Chains A and B, each alone.
Chain A
């Protein structure tokens, strides 16, 4: 990032939320880079930026799409890069229809399931199955031409009218990114949850990916898209995930029904038949993981104990699980490093859900609100819950903090840094590692005489970590297992040096293939701390970055197709013709001896067939995806839809909101009606939530500390002077904020840093709300109402992240009512707006005709699909996600150039508790919400996919909290719940708190 010539920070308040990482922005600025902050608020990030571009929350695709349009129209894209490294030249199926053709829908929309069949989004292929291209880019079916048409209506006028951005500011942005891209210069984007926490957040990131590919800023120093992770090692907790649908190293979690056989599963990871990128070695990655887990019990004969792995049968993210709790479908709950009573959206729902549990374990430093909701929570105050009626048995386990345990932090650039223990934990406090090791030992002890096959997975686990003199597990032994080692033979037990040494025959084992090499030669590479004064700027000997200690992913793209650097100034990795290998300042992200001119005659067939100019080596076809034939469930190209509850009409289409967003139609999750519907005027303002530097997420690590609490002691809201005058709010006085879900109170900060915007001829007021406060925790230094109580749960269909950044509500002077009156107060507004569970949750507003045309689009069977690809898109049966995006990077990296698939992960991290439900994990199709309104008979005949994958109950799209699915669905579910039926359900679907990633 320090090497960037221009940095656009959008959807992120980097200086406040990532102050340490922000040093690289400061460094870039000191070197002369231009810093632009696009954000609804003027924040501490804006304060040192060169320019603030205020924007209406949720309108980012309009802005980014307009930038794409301008770049294409003016011809200022990086032509050579685009032709060589992206799929611009690919021809898309003749059956593909764009949102421009169908009033806001893509072809393949199924109004029954509210999801897309993406078969019409595929590449055109020849008889051999190879994609058809047009190097001239002139064929109307080329990605390039489709892109042009798709964004043609994203004009500066539309930006002014929908985003509230002045034409002069738009021109400034255009000039900044185009002047600072190309051979000599690079532009970098940085985003955080300001992009992800929307009902189409993954597509926000995709739009930026397209723009960065067009500008040639991927895989190059100072380029890329930085996915700023919310706190320490959230990146690590997606690499070795606490997500319900991923296994370590971004392997998918097997789905019941779809992946019953190991070969089916491997096909979903990636095989040479469908890939020439590195996912083609999917079998070896999976075998090594199973071998690391089950050791000798994993043999070639039993498919390496694949049958031990639990299966998923639907979405088990944080919000789905919460609904299952409300339906009494969950008995127990482990809460680790998370405070959902404050940190997750719709806090009341979270707390009510916990009251349905039989038992609950909270591991934390102090008695946070999630540990005290049953005696001091807001619902106790209103009388909605009574302590004596709550049957949940609560356990509190003290946790060691980061200075009291050793281990790793993986940061946003994929850099894994070792952290030594400074002091022993106080009292009974334990690290997670020790806690789970001991828990495992105890459970295994209890089961040791069991002959129930169901207990074999637990008993056969390798669970033999050495302990030190303090009795604590040696964390390096876990690192060594993650790294991988040889099994048998003369190298038995020796650490692997890299993932290319992994085999699929059981002679190696490794817990996370992308981390292979972190313990190479028995050295803890993450603990390396060679000072910057003793090495070059790449600092390859400071800690270790996955994969292979590579600092910039896809760095083959930092050289021109012929292998020479694009420019001396941006020289990074290049082809050394004399030596016949790739070399440079970083570990080349390419087969090291593959010459730039090398060409394979096979379209796929594994990594040996990567062409010399296929830099995006995690993509099935080695190209950066401007158009995503697969991987995104809500469309191959990002399209602007208005946020849930938006009071602004979509200027582009009749289709107001995303037709595939995941809604939860529930009485306790009501939505404002949205633009044009009666009642929307009751909630005229926009709330948008965020964090402050002084606090940590839901406050568990800051509101108990006086030094931090005194710096931001009280919950406040930020409003413009205009709104203050309109509503009659006094500076630093009290205000009450009401949303369709809740009412809270806050101090008022009237500031010029908030400005009303004129959108569609109307004034839109945005109100800023930090979300760090909560009430009822024991011995917190400061407390206050929680902003997250105001939020509803409407989710992105790719990653199930909730929309936190655009919430409809109203504001008035004074403090909120106390006790039961608070409930009446909220209900009064709900009645006034005429809310019902249907309000604001219309999935389809496009015309019937367009819906029919979309649904009628045929899959391109005549174009000769590949046998292994089935009916899916040409390159689609791929690891839907690529490594790059998970790798949200920081200083000098680029994120995934592949377009959406990778970037999806950027938003999947932590927050939604899930990663994308794409093809790779077996196409987790949720039961569509629309279906629930149909008679019961109809519900028994959903599409095959939906049926097989639906969760046993509590599907949030069910809409009816009291009616969990039973019967056939339950049967399907049982098969997937191998070995966990009676065991404690460790439900840490999201490692972080819902509100941050």
Chain B
């Protein structure tokens, strides 16, 4: 793992080392998700996670599990939108990647750096302003392994098909139904791992982040440490939630790993056997792809370019920017609207990100106080 951060890797949370394994990750392409929730079920089955619903409608379209948590490690969001919202999403996505339709020739001028495609996350966070550098001091040209703004980077993945592609933007539909399978991000700079006082969280040889339940003491510090709200403590009360019907018993299930923090392991137990994660294997439309993280990111870039070329400029990536607040994520997403729409934070920042700065500020402050004190003394002498 060598992804740079603005601090030049100064944050000491990675503990990564050169291994024989490439970093593994997901590319979840929500544009082809059919909302079947097979990922949720396959995940729970493989990991023997208890069900955690109340067996009542949640009031959120077809979503009845609500969010990621101690027991739900894959969660499919359902969002119903009207044409106005679609137009806005298309516009905001277009700004992220100013393609100059209908030509799909990529911009190669310097100003392009102001709209980093891969920086969808960061750019969205900065209000799609496109100003060079943002409040966080992100560099305006991302030092990417894959530079989307390089010539050819925005061409459709299959050049032979380009003639067949309809490059005029389609009419805006009256309505759309977004579905997106969320999962632990397996951050480059993982807040949960940073703050874990027991060492229960560790970074694997696949550069994923996993809890050791036999080490975890359930303190819950990681829960606050995750900028995405992914990790949670599994409490006794997560199942057998009373329902409004007396005649119905919630299913009795053994609940493993009670009172410890739980989250997606990226199927660590499967990876070590050379298998892919359960969710990716079960996904019928390959909306969830699994592989080397670098491959995932380049597939994601190619896909977003494809969609933009078809006029579907609402497409943008989430988690592919190594300069965001968590140094990019192992789980990369292609979204069709702003991250907030899916319940994702627009500007996730690892909780420890500001520690060095804080220490520095504290130092400056201390020096300042010393100086002030000195000045006071000086002044008093005068």
Given contacts A751-B80, A753-B177, contact A47 B34 (CB under 8 A): yes
User: Is A713's CB under 8 angstroms from B55's CB?
Assistant: yes
User: Is B248's CB under 8 angstroms from A783's CB?
Assistant: yes
Residues in A neighbouring B62, C-beta threshold 8 A: 44, 692, 712
> What are 8 pairs between A and B in contact, CB < 8 Å?
A42-B175, A46-B177, A48-B33, A707-B51, A710-B52, A711-B37, A714-B57, A781-B251
Roughly how many angstroms separate A30 CA and B158 CA in the complex, as a whole number?
11
B82 at the interface (CB under 8 A from A): yes
Roughly how many angstroms separate A19 CA and B287 CA in the complex, as a whole number?
12
A527 at the interface (CB under 8 A from B): no
Roughly how many angstroms separate A52 CA and B33 CA in the complex, as a whole number?
17
Roughly how many angstroms separate A779 CA and B250 CA in the complex, as a whole number?
9
Minimum C-beta distance from B136 to chain A (A): 35
B36 at the interface (CB under 8 A from A): yes
Residues in B neighbouring A694, C-beta threshold 8 A: 37
Given contacts A23-B284, A710-B53, contact A16 B164 (CB under 8 A): no
Considering only residues 700-735 of chain A, those with a C-beta below 8 Å from chain B are 706-714, 716, 731-732
Binary flags per residue of B28-57, CB closer than 8 Å to A gives 1, else 0: 000111111110110011000011111111
A393 at the interface (CB under 8 A from B): no
Chain A residue with Cβ nearest B51: A706
Considering only residues 77-135 of chain B, those with a C-beta below 8 Å from chain A are 80, 82
* Number of B positions contacting A (CB below 8 A): 45
Roughly how many angstroms separate A236 CA and B350 CA in the complex, as a whole number?
55
Which listed residue (A23, A713, A779, A782) contacts B286, Cβ 8 A?
Answer: A23
B230 at the interface (CB under 8 A from A): no
User: Is B175's CB under 8 angstroms from A713's CB?
Assistant: no
A602 at the interface (CB under 8 A from B): no
B3 at the interface (CB under 8 A from A): no
Residues in B neighbouring A29, C-beta threshold 8 A: 32
Residues in A neighbouring B161, C-beta threshold 8 A: 31-32
Roughly how many angstroms separate A553 CA and B59 CA in the complex, as a whole number?
46
Residues in B neighbouring A751, C-beta threshold 8 A: 61, 80
Which listed residue (B31, B65, B250) contacts A711, Cβ 8 A?
Answer: B65
A26 at the interface (CB under 8 A from B): yes
Given contacts A709-B55, A713-B56, contact A693 B251 (CB under 8 A): no
Roughly how many angstroms separate A782 CA and B34 CA in the complex, as a whole number?
24
User: Is A711's CB under 8 angstroms from B177's CB?
Assistant: no
User: Is A781's CB under 8 angstroms from B80's CB?
Assistant: no
Considering only residues 28-67 of chain A, those with a C-beta below 8 Å from chain B are 29-32, 42, 44-48, 50, 52
Roughly how many angstroms separate A805 CA and B80 CA in the complex, as a whole number?
25
B237 at the interface (CB under 8 A from A): no
A752 at the interface (CB under 8 A from B): yes
Which listed residue (A15, A706, A713) contacts B253, Cβ 8 A?
Answer: A706
User: Is B44's CB under 8 angstroms from A707's CB?
Assistant: yes
A936 at the interface (CB under 8 A from B): no
Contact residues of B: prevailing secondary structure: loop
B165 at the interface (CB under 8 A from A): yes
A20 at the interface (CB under 8 A from B): yes
A640 at the interface (CB under 8 A from B): no
Considering only residues 476-500 of chain A, those with a C-beta below 8 Å from chain B are none
Residues in A neighbouring B65, C-beta threshold 8 A: 710-711
Residues in A neighbouring B32, C-beta threshold 8 A: 26, 29-30, 48
A22 at the interface (CB under 8 A from B): yes
Considering only residues 59-74 of chain B, those with a C-beta below 8 Å from chain A are 59, 61-62, 64-65
Chain B residue with Cβ nearest A34: B166
Residues of B within 8 A of A (CB): 31-38, 40-41, 44-45, 50-57, 59, 61-62, 64-65, 80, 82, 161, 164-165, 170, 173, 175-179, 248-251, 253, 284-286
User: Is A711's CB under 8 angstroms from B41's CB?
Assistant: yes
Binary flags per residue of A5-21, CB closer than 8 Å to B gives 1, else 0: 00000000001100110
Residues in A neighbouring B34, C-beta threshold 8 A: 15-16, 19, 22, 26, 44-45, 47-48, 693
Minimum C-beta distance from B310 to chain A (A): 10
Interface size band for A: 35 or more
A747 at the interface (CB under 8 A from B): yes
Which listed residue (A31, A47, A710) contacts B177, Cβ 8 A?
Answer: A47
Roughly how many angstroms separate A47 CA and B41 CA in the complex, as a whole number?
21
User: Is A753's CB under 8 angstroms from B52's CB?
Assistant: no
User: Is A693's CB under 8 angstroms from B36's CB?
Assistant: yes
User: Is A714's CB under 8 angstroms from B177's CB?
Assistant: no
Minimum C-beta distance from B239 to chain A (A): 8
Residues of A within 8 A of B (CB): 15-16, 19-20, 22-23, 26, 29-32, 42, 44-48, 50, 52, 692-694, 706-714, 716, 731-732, 747, 749, 751-753, 779, 781-783
Roughly how many angstroms separate A783 CA and B173 CA in the complex, as a whole number?
36
Roughly how many angstroms separate A370 CA and B286 CA in the complex, as a whole number?
38
Minimum C-beta distance from B45 to chain A (A): 7
Minimum C-beta distance from B317 to chain A (A): 18
Roughly how many angstroms separate A16 CA and B165 CA in the complex, as a whole number?
28
- Sorted nearest first, the 10 A-B pairs with minimum C-beta distance are A710-B53, A706-B51, A706-B251, A15-B34, A713-B55, A47-B177, A26-B285, A19-B36, A732-B59, A693-B36
User: Is A26's CB under 8 angstroms from B286's CB?
Assistant: yes
Task: Given A710-B65, A713-B53, A752-B175, output 11 extra A-B contacts at Cβ < 8 Å.
Answer: A26-B285, A46-B177, A47-B35, A48-B32, A706-B250, A707-B45, A710-B52, A711-B65, A713-B55, A714-B57, A753-B177
User: Is B80's CB under 8 angstroms from A713's CB?
Assistant: no
Minimum C-beta distance from A719 to chain B (A): 14
Roughly how many angstroms separate A534 CA and B57 CA in the complex, as a whole number?
46
Chain A residue with Cβ nearest B40: A711
Chain A residue with Cβ nearest B59: A732
Residues in A neighbouring B164, C-beta threshold 8 A: 32
Minimum C-beta distance from B57 to chain A (A): 5
Chain B residue with Cβ nearest A32: B164
Roughly how many angstroms separate A692 CA and B38 CA in the complex, as a whole number?
12
Residues in A neighbouring B179, C-beta threshold 8 A: 44, 47
Roughly how many angstroms separate A603 CA and B82 CA in the complex, as a whole number?
60
Residues in A neighbouring B52, C-beta threshold 8 A: 710
User: Is B64's CB under 8 angstroms from A713's CB?
Assistant: yes
User: Is B56's CB under 8 angstroms from A753's CB?
Assistant: no
Which listed residue (B57, B165, B173, B251) contacts A732, Cβ 8 A?
Answer: B57
Minimum C-beta distance from A22 to chain B (A): 6
User: Is A752's CB under 8 angstroms from B80's CB?
Assistant: yes
Roughly how many angstroms separate A48 CA and B56 CA in the complex, as a whole number?
27
Q: For A29, A45, A47, A50, which residue has the most chain B Cβ atoms within 10 angstroms?
A: A47
Roughly how many angstroms separate A708 CA and B64 CA in the complex, as a whole number?
11
Given contacts A32-B165, A48-B31, A781-B251, contact A713 B57 (CB under 8 A): yes
Minimum C-beta distance from B242 to chain A (A): 14
User: Is B250's CB under 8 angstroms from A781's CB?
Assistant: yes
Residues in A neighbouring B64, C-beta threshold 8 A: 710-713
Residues in A neighbouring B55, C-beta threshold 8 A: 709-710, 713-714, 781-782
Roughly how many angstroms separate A29 CA and B178 CA in the complex, as a whole number?
17
Roughly how many angstroms separate A32 CA and B160 CA in the complex, as a whole number?
12
Roughly how many angstroms separate A23 CA and B165 CA in the complex, as a whole number?
21
Roughly how many angstroms separate A510 CA and B53 CA in the complex, as a whole number?
51
Chain B residue with Cβ nearest A731: B59
Minimum C-beta distance from B337 to chain A (A): 14
Minimum C-beta distance from B178 to chain A (A): 8
Residues in B neighbouring A20, C-beta threshold 8 A: 284
Roughly how many angstroms separate A46 CA and B31 CA in the complex, as a whole number?
12
Minimum C-beta distance from A564 to chain B (A): 25
Chain A residue with Cβ nearest B37: A711
Residues in A neighbouring B33, C-beta threshold 8 A: 48
Residues in B neighbouring A708, C-beta threshold 8 A: 41
Minimum C-beta distance from A47 to chain B (A): 4
Residues in B neighbouring A747, C-beta threshold 8 A: 57
Minimum C-beta distance from B241 to chain A (A): 10
Given contacts A693-B35, A712-B64, contact A22 B41 (CB under 8 A): no
Roughly how many angstroms separate A975 CA and B175 CA in the complex, as a whole number?
61
Minimum C-beta distance from A123 to chain B (A): 43
Residues in B neighbouring A48, C-beta threshold 8 A: 31-34
Roughly how many angstroms separate A537 CA and B61 CA in the complex, as a whole number?
38
Chain B residue with Cβ nearest A712: B64
